[in-house]
Chains A and B, each alone.
Chain A
């Protein structure tokens, strides 16, 4: 065997070894990293048992304003997950002495957050169908949601309420819901 042939054989063995390493070690490691990456960027469900304090809003004793109260709600990773937890806690049936301005049976369908901080909160049609009516009650219902999100989540600058996935004019004929609303402190005691 000539010296050149020996060199060629060594080179061939080296390339084969490198290919084998890429095939049996490098690719599996890359694949493992690739499959775990989305989990770090996707929204993570709330850690079981972990809770935070949030300011929720209920009808004040006078019946004419909202009163804020600090309650524990489930922790959610990221703004959207936390917004879901806050709204779920806010629309849950209230326990004495609290009175909720959210019509019974209302469920949360989805929450979206636009880059500018505009939150779109999509409720089931019960929020409109089961609403008792009246301008004041409508204001209380709407600002319960708007204030709960904007008071607890600095990233939320305004809130637009959707019903069954669609934009609506009003819930019960009075308050314009065709655009996002900002936090309203006048209606809170």
Chain B
């Protein structure tokens, strides 16, 4: 999971009206088939099957499980923290996600351009609720991986 730096958290809307948290999953072109391992020589001698992938496309093999993580997070947020109407975006090659060699989502916790939400975002109670929802999501995701080891 990658939570970005404070420069752009929370976000600002060009229309000024949206509110709620947004969850992003990377959208990368290409197919998993391109991740077929290649048999390459190793330093110790002999050959080994090695999966070669460009550094900035490492997220490609995790897109399905990252989407599952985003869904769990959305479920966990519901009833606890305000979600925007779009909720989960899979709209582009996000720089902070595409190189992550693990399941990864990007979370933006609200819109500063919404005055009501700006007040809420600065409150400790809301921040604690939000942090707890993220922790609970991670625990649920760990259980999911334990039950579905093939998706690790």
Contacts and interface: CB of A to CB of B under 8 A. Distances in A.
A59 B15 contact: yes
Nearest to B5: A173
Max chain B C-beta neighbours (<10 A), residue from A63, A173, A178, A182: A63
Nearest to A140: B14
A132 B111 CA distance: 12
Contacts of A137: 11-14
A113 to B, nearest CB: 21
B8 A134 contact: yes
B108 A135 contact: yes
Contacts of A170: 95
A175 B13 contact: no
Contact of A136 (B22, B27, B96): B22
B106 interface: yes
Interface residues of B, number: 32
Size band of the A side of the interface?
A: 20 to 34
A135 B13 CA distance: 10
A119 interface: no
Contact of A176 (B8, B89, B95): B95
B14 A63 contact: yes
A175 to B, nearest CB: 5
B94 A135 contact: yes
A60 to B, nearest CB: 8
Interface string B58-76: 0000000000000000000
B77 interface: no
Contacts of B93: 175-176, 179, 181
Interface in B21-52: 22, 24, 27, 29
A149 to B, nearest CB: 16
B8 A174 contact: yes
Q: Determine chain A's interface SS by DSSP, over half rule.
A: loop
A121 interface: no
A130 to B, nearest CB: 12
Nearest to A132: B12
Contacts of A179: 93
A101 B13 CA distance: 10
A135 B14 contact: no
A174 B14 contact: no
Interface string B6-18: 0110111111111
A52 to B, nearest CB: 27
A102 to B, nearest CB: 10
Max chain B C-beta neighbours (<10 A), residue from A65, A99, A139, A142: A139
Contact of B13 (A134, A172, A178, A182): A134
A63 B111 CA distance: 11
Interface of A: 59, 61-65, 99, 101, 132-137, 139-140, 142-143, 169-170, 172-176, 178-179, 181-182, 184, 186-187
Given A59-B15, A63-B14, A133-B11, 14 more contacts: A62-B85, A64-B85, A134-B12, A135-B11, A135-B89, A135-B94, A137-B13, A174-B106, A176-B92, A179-B93, A181-B92, A184-B92, A186-B27, A186-B91
